Amino acid sequence: EPEVTQTPSHQVTQMGQEVILRCVPISNHLYFYWYRQILGQKVEFLVSFYNNEISEKSEIFDDRFSVERPDGSNFTLKIRSTKLEDSAMYFCAREAAGETQYFGPGTRLTVL
């Protein structure tokens, strides 16, 4: 299966700043997901994205979070006004057919 790539691998930001996490490049996939994993804890669902629209989101995905496909291939997660508790590993996943989600290597976000 083609890999899912994510950039950057590590992002450090000051509290209150905005960050953009990217999944690149992706094509011919219908469903995209963002998950996060706070250090030592379980992987949690954030949002699913289908046909250029959010199809489902969790309680974690508040109004500071947004997703988009700005150029038809990249899939981005934007977090505005970052908080200390946003520090986590963020994983992008894609799903083309069948029932298997394939994950990227993740972006480690550190909010200081």
Partner 1 sequence: GNSVTQMEGPVTLSEEAFLTINCTYTATGYPSLFWYVQYPGEGLQLLLKATKADDKGSNKGFEATYRKETTSFHLEKGSVQVSDSAVYFCALKNAGGTSYGKLTFGQGTILTVHP
Which residues form the interface with partner 1 (CB under 8 A)?
A: 30-31, 33, 35, 41-45, 48, 50, 55-56, 58, 91, 93, 95, 97-106
Q: How far is the CB of 17 from partner 1 (least distance, A)?
A: 25
Beta carbon nearer to partner 1, 15 or 43: 43
The H or E element containing residue 110 is strand 107-111
Beta carbon nearer to partner 1, 12 or 15: 12
Phi, psi of 86 (to 5 degrees): -80, -10
Beta carbon nearer to partner 1, 50 or 69: 50
Phi, psi of 12 (to 5 degrees): -115, 135
CA distance 9 to 22: 10
Q: How far is the CB of 59 from partner 1 (least distance, A)?
A: 11
Cα 11 to Cα 44, 69, 112, distances in angstroms: 19, 20, 11
Beta carbon nearer to partner 1, 1 or 71: 1
